[in-house]
Amino acid sequence: MYSFSPKLRLYSIILIVLGLVLFGAGYLMNHNIDDARIEHMMEIAHAGGDHTPTHSSELVGPQDHQAHLDHAKMQVHNQPLAAIHTVAVFLFALSCCALFFYSIQNAAHAGWSIIVLRVMEAIASFIPWAGGLLLIIMLLNITHMGHLFHWMDPATTTQGDPHFDSIIFEKSSFLNIPGYVIRNIIYVVGASFFAWKLKSLSRKVDDTKDRKVYATYYSWSVGYIAFFGFASAAWAWDWLMSIDTHWYSTMYIWYAMVSCLASAIAAITLISVYLKKKGVLPQFNDNHLHDLGVYLFATSMLWTYTWFCQFMLYWYANVPEEVNYFFGRFKYYSATFLPMLILNFLIPLLVLVSSSIKRNYTVVTTVAVIVLIGHWLDYFNMVMPGTVGPYWQTVEVLLLNLGSVLFGLGLFVFVVLTALSKLKLIPEGNPFVKESKIYEYPF
């Protein structure tokens, strides 16, 4: 049985408090930015006469100076909500992907992974917390206290209005506030329900060792896989792709999901190794670490494949409303857009390609940390260009994002390790537990 150490608990609380303090400082500084400074920021961003937009909606509506200033003001004051939205979506998707990976193991009757099933259950315990934060962000947006989603402005779908946007109007059958609210509730409540249901059935399997209960557990695992398949596609549209309303990619749902699947496997690896080093999960051995390393390598390569396909298809098509998505990121986010390939692709490729290196605890955990950082950066690049535009290289944005990350990390550690302390780490009732204990990679 794992006991959440008071020292680590204290560290997680310190991270939460420090994150809130930094976010609060960034929020106050952002709130005090006046029009004169925003005009100066506009001059810097568009120095040299280059007005490359970060969002194709900027090309619709009035194009005078006042309209550009109003748009820049909205982007600058989007910074706090965009920072917390990035972390909330990333951690919610990561937790749901951990439960997805968990359900795949159950549906496949996999034996090797039984030792780390409880770790996946604990990560899934964070789903309601991240989901609650996303529902708060949803309320701020639909009440127009936040402006992350351009399509929520009623003027964009009102024919005859100077800000009328024909592309958004054509998409309004899906992108509308009532539908958005209903779908958000389905994502959060549905995923939270499956996390609770699978955890309770897992405990029941332990208590009863009944094959009929295990069959029910299997069926609910398959059910979550189906739910996740539809929900992860739709929330990628709602929370991420609809930020850039004019742009569309058929690869996007896979791209966004695989990014967090790789992150989920990295988190599973880190927590499993931590429990091993604490001496409470001695059954976890080099063979389990090797297989987690294999999945980390595979998902990193799959993410790279989806990134490359999405990028190349739109780049060579050279259709303005498509390539604009990349133009803005190349122009204003060059410090993060392509360098993230080093973290998410090059390092996993060069380090984890060797089978023997996947048994090295230090190397695999280091790569797992790098992958987590890299995929948060990926989500940063999905959210920030379309919401805050070129106005991100400021002290305010640094404080807001650092505060959001520290708050999210502290809360994640606190919730997940608290959940772990309430679980039996080895699911003794699972019919494949013996196979997992004696598992040995054959090569």
Tokens of 13: 């609380």
- Is pLDDT at 241 greater than 70 in this prediction? yes
Report pLDDT for 292. 96
**Is residue 212 pLDDT above 80, yes or no?**
yes
* pLDDT of amino acid 30: 92
The predicted pLDDT at position 350 comes to 94
56 pLDDT band (50/70/90 cuts)? low
pLDDT number for residue 51: 65
- Buried b vs exposed e over 234-262: b needs ≥16 C-beta within 10 Å? ebbbbbbbbbbbbbbbebbbbbbbbbbbb
Least confident window among 262-266, 311-315, 383-387, 435-439: 311-315
Q: Which stretches within 111-176 are classed as H helix?
A: 117-124, 127-142, 166-170
pTM metric for this prediction: 0.95
pLDDT of residue 163: 82
d(CA 54, CA 71): 12
- Alpha-carbon distances of 150 from 164, 248, 324, 379, rounded to whole Å: 12, 15, 16, 19
Kindly report, residue by residue over 365-423, the tens digit of the pLDDT: 999 999 999 999 999 999 999 899 888 989 999 999 999 999 999 999 999 999 999 98
Query: Where does the pLDDT of residue 59 fall: very low under 50, low under 70, confident under 90, or very high at 90 and above?
Result: low
pLDDT of residue 61: 66
Question: Is residue 258's pLDDT more than 90?
Answer: yes
pLDDT at 48: 61
**Per-residue pLDDT tens digits for 98-131:** 999 999 999 999 999 999 999 999 999 999 999 9
- The owner of tokens 């537990």 is 433
Task: Determine the average pLDDT of the residues in 352-371.
Answer: 94
The pLDDT score that the predictor gives to residue 443 is: 65
Q: Tens of pLDDT along 21-36?
A: 999 999 999 999 988 8
Q: Which residue has the higher pLDDT, 305 or 44?
A: 305
271-310 in b/e burial notation, b at 16+ Cβ within 10 A? bbbbbbeeeebebbbebbbbbbbebbbbbbbbbbebbeeb
Q: Judge whether residue 193 has pLDDT over 80.
A: yes
pLDDT value of position 357: 93
pLDDT above 90 as % of the chain: 69
User: Taking residues 52-75, what's their average pLDDT?
Assistant: 74
Give the tens place of pLDDT for each residue, 267-288.
999 999 999 999 999 999 999 9
Using the predicted structure, report yes or no on whether residue 342 has a pLDDT greater than 90. Answer: yes
77-103 pLDDT, tens per residue?
Answer: 999 999 999 999 999 999 999 999 999
